[in-house]
Structure 1
């Protein structure tokens, strides 16, 4: 995980971005403790920018500062994932429907390009890029819905969605392959401007994600 921090940017901002990426893309696991001394060694900076970065991460909800002073990566509960599923199920299928009905040719072309990039990417060689493409695909659909409130809410859910997908991939590493098939169905409906089909395909996609997330949680309980 070690990374040399460039001196041309503010140290605190660099450390913040570095730790944020590690948390969002699985480099730091939920519940893992962050030790200042180790972070100083890995990044080559002093404690001050480390502490400032941790304050920002706490504000983002990515880390939890314990009363006794320890810092751990935020660990979503089963209830968190269930609430996220409920939000996505009520937001993303209508967004897909509106996108199918309102999308422009340029927006369609971008979605097609994103899907092609997903097909070319060999997971797990680049998990960060896999997450980025996946989230961007969903985000572009919300933007194509022409409803700015949907887009804003999706942005606010990005952190929890990243934890959600990491949890699934931990137990179902081949999930990106089936995601592509599901994305193809959504994209085809958007391409043909079939709002009802786009809504149904997105709903099926989100339900499948939740089923896998629940099975992941069950596997963890069985291991205890």
Structure 2
């Protein structure tokens, strides 16, 4: 398992503050001020800024420095719309192509996620959530689908952080949606698996977008 660098940790915290609205659109990020806040030199701050720029969360302009951008809700909606169709197709194929062992594995992951819900362990639930989705992608036996979904999920990774499960009140709802999805795949019900995954991703996207809109200043 890779260890996060100081820059990664600063990037994660700043990106969470931007997405949550704690750091506002148009706000300037002062390099020295943030370095003092984290008790580090300017070097990891510059790297964190580079990561924020790559993620599309900040922009650099002459005489203005690094400022936070306005989150593009329309673009986010487009990406989620594509993701829900692709993941739903994966679920349909997995219901047909997964081995008995693979079906048992996603059932076990889902059982473990129930424990995470009861203990309100958001980090653990998010980890198992990713494992379930990855297993379903692999179970489709379609490399092109897997690669396309992986790229989309990477672009959306900022909006799938564990703390957002709490902000969107998605922990128990996500678990229930997974139950329908896993049950359909285990039963080999292709159409039900497609509908369950499509509904799951749609609800995830609506919850995320509604939350982001609620953080925008009036």
TM range (shorter): 0.7 to 0.9
Per the TM alignment, residue 177 of structure 1 is displaced from its structure 2 partner at its CA by 0.2
Give the equivalent residue in structure 2 for 1:79: 74
Q: CA deviation at 1:199?
A: 0.8
Contact (CA 8 Å) 1:139, 1:154: kept in 2 or not? no
Q: CA deviation at 1:48?
A: 1.7
- Given candidates 46, 55, 59, the residue that maps to 1:51 is 46
Contact 1:123–1:176, Cα closer than 8 Å, also in 2 = no
- Write the mapping of 1:23-172 to structure 2, written as runs, cut at 5 A: 26=16, 28-30=17-19, 32=23, 34-59=29-54, 61-67=55-61, 68-72=64-68, 76-122=71-117, 126-165=121-160, 169=165, 172=168
Do 1:96 and 1:141's aligned partners in 2 also have CA atoms closer than 8 Å?
yes
**Runs of at least 5 residues in structure 1 that lack an aligned partner in the other structure:** 1-8
CA displacement 1:131-152 (0-9 Å, x = unmatched)? 3332332222111111122222
Secondary structure, counterpart of 2:18 in structure 1? coil
Quickly say closer, same or farther: Cα 1:220–1:69, change in 2 above 3 A. closer
- Pair 1:70–1:126, CA change in 2 (3 A): farther
1:18 aligned onto 2:9: yes
Q: State the Cα deviation string for residues 21-67 of structure 1 (Å, max 9, x = none).
A: 4366x3x33262544334434544311232134324423x1532331
Corresponding position of 1:4: none
Matched residue count: 207
Q: Distance in 1 between matches of 2:33 and 2:128?
A: 31
Structure 1 segments, 4+ long, off by >6 Å, are none
Q: Give the superposed CA RMSD.
A: 3.2
Unaligned runs of 5+ in 2: none
> TM-score normalised to the size of structure 2?
0.76
How has the CA–CA distance of structure 1 residues 127 and 71 changed in structure 2, closer, same or farther, with 3 Å as cutoff?
Answer: farther
Further displaced range: 203-212 or 96-105: 203-212
| Larger RCO of the pair (alpha carbons < 8 Å, separation 6+) | 2
Judging changes above 3 Å, is the alpha-carbon distance between structure 1 residues 161 and 106 closer, same or farther for their aligned structure 2 residues? Answer: farther
SS of corresponding position for 1:178: helix
Q: How many angstroms does 1:17 deviate by?
A: 2.4
Tell me if structure 2 keeps the 8 A contact 1:123–1:130.
no
